[in-house]
Every structure is written in C-alpha cells, then in structure tokens.
Amino acid sequence: MLKELELRRSCRNYDSKMPEEEKINEVINAGLHAASGMGYQYGIIVAITNKEVRDKISTLNAKIMNNEGIDPFYGAPVILLVAVKKWRNSPYDGACMIENMMIEATNQGLGSCWIHRAKEELESNEGKEILKSIKLDLDEYEGVGHVALGYSLEKGAKEKIIKDNRVFWIK
C-alpha cells in the first residue's frame, strides 16, 4: 500500500508558519485530480491564506458548532474550503477532493485535518459575506468541508489502529 495512505493522520496542532506556496499548490492540484461523478469536476477549492479572512472563517465555524472562542482549525495558517455545485453527487465529489488533498499534504510533509461545517457556512449570510471576494454565486454551491493545512507541531508518530470486522468476503 502507498505509504502516504498509511501515514496520513489528522493533525490537531499547527505551526503558524505559512507553508511554501508550491506545496499548497501541489495539495490543491491533488484535490482537482480527484474522481468526480460523471467526470463533471463540479468541485471548487477556496484557498484561504489571508489571516483576517482565515480568522473570520474560524470564528464563524466555531459559532456554528456552538463552541465560540475556540479555533476549530487548530491554528492552521491555510484553510482549503471545498464546495461543489449542487447536484446529487456533491457530498461524494467533495469528499474525494478532500481525501486526495490530505494524502498529498502527507506527501508534502504537511499536517492536515478535515474540518466540517462548510455546508452551514455557505448557507449563512455571514459566510457568503466573508467569501464575497470570490466571483461565484455561492447559492449554487454546497459546502462539503475544509482541509486545515500547515506544518504540524504534533510530536512523535501517532498510532493508527484499524478497527476489526470491517471486511466481509463473498468468495
């Protein structure tokens, strides 16, 4: 098995140091290469490195989870928001993009974590206001999730225990 699939972990403690743009672009490119229903590629990525906008998204995300005051992005300097044009396949398309980006983050030596509540963000007026600089009718898009991205401050190798009884053969 590819070692990046084995080594990927959810990182919950990030350095504020901004990753090199080349690395961020590789991660984004992985997202663009994900499988999509009918090959339509309806998914988009909003790459947020602007500190002010990043903090506003964080504040809104915490509010949606009824946990104001915390940073749901664990200090990550980069937020990659994934949204997909609304159709029956949106959650699946977006999830594949996010998984690809987390795998490539591992390949780039970066930490990553799936952060939810992008759907609620894009449904809220506050979220649309924060993202208004992107010229897109966000009402046509369903938020699927975010990748928190940055250098990990987590120490040591986190164990990954695969649960039992998840495979059933019919031979």
What is the distance between the alpha carbons of residues 118 and 64, in angstroms, rounded to a whole number?
10
CA distances to 59, 167 from 170, rounded to whole Å, are 48, 10
Which lies closer to a second copy via its Cβ, residue 125 or residue 133? 133
Binding mask 107-126 for a second copy (x = CB under 8 A): x------x-x----------
Closest separation between CB of residue 68 and a second copy, Å? 21
Which string of x and - marks every residue 4-43 that binds a second copy (by CB under 8 A)? xxx-x-x---------------x-xxx-xxxx-x-x-x-x
Contact between 107 and 86 under an 8 Å Cβ cutoff? The reply is no
Q: Which residues within the stretch 127-166 sit at the binding site for a second copy (CB under 8 A)?
A: 131, 133-134, 136, 144-145, 160, 162-163, 165-166
Q: Tell me: does residue 69 bind a second copy (CB under 8 A).
A: no
- C-alpha distances in angstroms, 43 versus 30, 71, 157? 12, 26, 32
Q: What is the C-alpha to C-alpha distance for residues 128 and 96, in angstroms, rounded to an integer?
A: 24
**Segment 46-65, which members bind a second copy (CB under 8 A)?**
46-50, 53
Nearer to a second copy, 51 or 68 (CB): 51
Report the DSSP beta bridge partners of residue 85: 141
Of 102, 82, 73, 101, which Cα lies nearest the Cα of 42?
A: 82
The count of chain residues that interact with a second copy, using the rule CB under 8 A, is 57
User: Angle between the 90-107 and 21-32 helix axes, to the nearest 10 degrees?
Assistant: 140
In a 13 Å sphere around the CA of 39, the CA atoms on its Cβ side amount to: 0
Residues that bind a second copy (CB under 8 A): 1-2, 4-6, 8, 10, 26, 28-30, 32-35, 37, 39, 41, 43-50, 53, 91-92, 94-96, 98-100, 102-104, 107, 114, 116, 131, 133-134, 136, 144-145, 160, 162-163, 165-171
